Chains A and B, each alone.
Chain A
């Protein structure tokens, strides 16, 4: 496959063959299985997929934050500007985490400390990586809170996490993640608790940060409206694996994997309300996700796939390039593409 950019500049983040396991009392659970992607400098990759498919576990491994001892990277490589991160000692990770790779966690309450004011936490985050006075850090924190649309930031900086609304906590997390101008931002459902107006404002803010200092973003989201407008490439995950990766217009125009197709079909249409239309239901993908401890033979989507053929349960399809720039993990993708 030809690389449009010559060898000189490695991508900001290069993840290959990432495999993550959890020890459970029923055996080893592979939550992420052979996942590869790149984040070019200043670029955005969207990561979508089934709830429980391994998106957050992927993001935790990029920060060396897997719960230990039960969770660990079993295989694969994570390179930041060409430098291998897998296997680095915790002391080295502390210099990277927050400063070079920052994250907005899916559940703000799990990462905000309930006993400190949000201001103290942002100040702490800034001073951990930057040599600035407490006073300067506080001024910076107020500015960041204003950027993310928190009203009256000068008094809100004193608030404790429980005194803020769900969306405000999420925005505090965003402010904290951006405070050190990281090279890579991992945003795990960054706007789920926000109304569409503030969501638009936050996404514009991320965009301007990308422009200003070429930040690369991994945007994990269930909101396909956000995906459609804010990312360039999308990877779709199912049961621990990437099943499709494509430029965003291509994926929306013609999803090639049957799971991606089912997902796009489940988007509720606009302009449909209950009145006079009793018994209306939204389309879903039939069946349930397989247990990661008891995967079906062959294709992991097989038991739910409308297009299932005998070959599908005999052999797992590989992820391969079907048309230039489009990777699909389905035996018959070539046929759908033509």
Chain B
């Protein structure tokens, strides 16, 4: 395939607020889960979306599919404005936009067999002609995600966490979408099956030109799969650009902190960690100015706490944007061998052998 060029999905200044509270101890409050976010995903491209837990990634993923109504902003899919369509006009588009949900269990109907869960979309969209064809299609989809044909007859509660996650993936792929929101698609999988799913998604992208919005806490997977990446903090995108640039430069102070805590799968090595200091801010009452300023080591009073920074390009024509007044310099990030005192202690107290 040639380089991705055409935008398949575009979001312009999209927001989603929730009204919460009015409990026994509190009044109603507004929570800005997604706050003025713009992004685009090209045909055949993967946009990775990373950020702190609770920063609004899943909400954004559902809003761009209009599974959740946006509070403001516009969303264009294949050139059509989704926000203007009625639900019946939206229906034919639904097949082409699918989602792999973050929480596999609550997204699977416990009373439906795996055949019905995976095959439902095929029936709704008239993609199979007979029961036999449905069975074959479902079996083939299950095989692709490492499950077995006889699993068709079984129900969600009979599966392990990772098996359920793969049922969700088979269901999303069944209807041959062109755009897929993958919300933590491999979080419950061992590295070998994770690799199998990642390879499957890459194969589909290469052969059919699928586009993905990939939400994940696994930075290695995001790096491996994404052409571009966006970093979110408290409802806003704070850095975005081509993956190698964002991963190597880490221009936003939050990006730098986020990446530095990554544990390396090698017990003899530790990377130097910049822990994010301070409490995460309340999304009900976001800090004035740059939302990161109360925790930011580079914050300068009088500037950062007054007005929110706008995204600016890090280098001319790099396509790499950062919303920060004082972005981090380019440094060669040295991997330091650094053992916390308690980890050194832990290491020396190897457990006694089980006496068998």
Contacts and interface: CB of A to CB of B under 8 A. Distances in A.
Interface of A: 1, 3-5, 11, 14, 22, 24, 26, 36-38, 40, 43, 45, 48-52, 55-57, 67, 106-110, 117, 146, 149, 151-152, 154-155, 158-159, 163-168, 171, 188-189, 192-201, 207, 211, 222-229, 232-233, 245, 247-249, 252, 262-264, 266-275, 278-285, 288-289, 291, 321, 324-325, 327
Given A3-B353, A266-B194, A281-B202, 14 more contacts: A36-B354, A38-B354, A45-B351, A51-B161, A107-B104, A166-B53, A192-B187, A192-B217, A196-B258, A199-B263, A222-B194, A225-B263, A270-B264, A289-B146
Interface string B105-130: 11000000000000000000000000
Nearest to A262: B192
Interface of B: 18, 20-21, 23-26, 29, 46, 50-54, 58, 102-106, 143, 146, 148, 150, 154, 157-163, 166, 184, 187-196, 198-199, 202, 206, 217, 219-221, 223-227, 242-244, 247, 257-259, 261-268, 270, 273, 275-276, 279-285, 342-343, 346-347, 349-356
B87 to A, nearest CB: 22
Nearest to B154: A24
Contacts of A152: 282-285
Nearest to B343: A229
A108 B53 CA distance: 15
A264 B195 CA distance: 12
Contact of B280 (A43, A57, A149, A273): A149
A48 to B, nearest CB: 7
Contacts of B264: 225, 228, 270
Contact of A222 (B143, B166, B188): B188
Contacts of B154: 24
B247 to A, nearest CB: 7
Chain A CB count within 10 A is highest, among B198, B220, B225, B281, for B220
Contacts of A38: 351-352, 354-355
Residue with the highest number of chain A CB atoms closer than 10 Å, among B20, B24, B103, B355: B355
A318 to B, nearest CB: 11
B347 A232 contact: yes
Contact of A166 (B52, B58, B268, B356): B58
Nearest to B29: A155
A264 B206 CA distance: 27
A198 B52 contact: yes
B267 A222 contact: no
B62 to A, nearest CB: 12
Given A165-B58, A198-B53, A252 B267 contact: yes
A159 B22 CA distance: 10
Contacts of B146: 51, 288-289
Given A24-B158, A192-B188, A249 B265 contact: no
Contact of B191 (A146, A159, A267): A267
A285 B264 CA distance: 21
Nearest to A285: B192
Kindly name the residue among B105, B202, B258, B263 whose own CB sees the greatest number of chain A CB atoms within 10 A: B263
Contact of A107 (B161, B346, B351): B161
A275 B263 contact: no
Given A107-B103, A109-B106, A110-B105, A3 B352 contact: yes
B54 A158 contact: no
A163 B59 CA distance: 11
Contacts of A155: 21, 26, 29, 282, 284
Nearest to A191: B217
Contacts of B257: 197
Contacts of B217: 167, 192-196, 199
Contacts of B223: 270-273
Residue from the set A152, A285, A289, A321 with the largest chain B CB neighbour count within 10 Å: A152
B350 A233 contact: yes
A268 B279 contact: no
Given A151-B280, A288-B146, A51 B261 contact: no
Contacts of A149: 279-280
A52 to B, nearest CB: 4
A151 B106 contact: no
B243 A249 contact: no
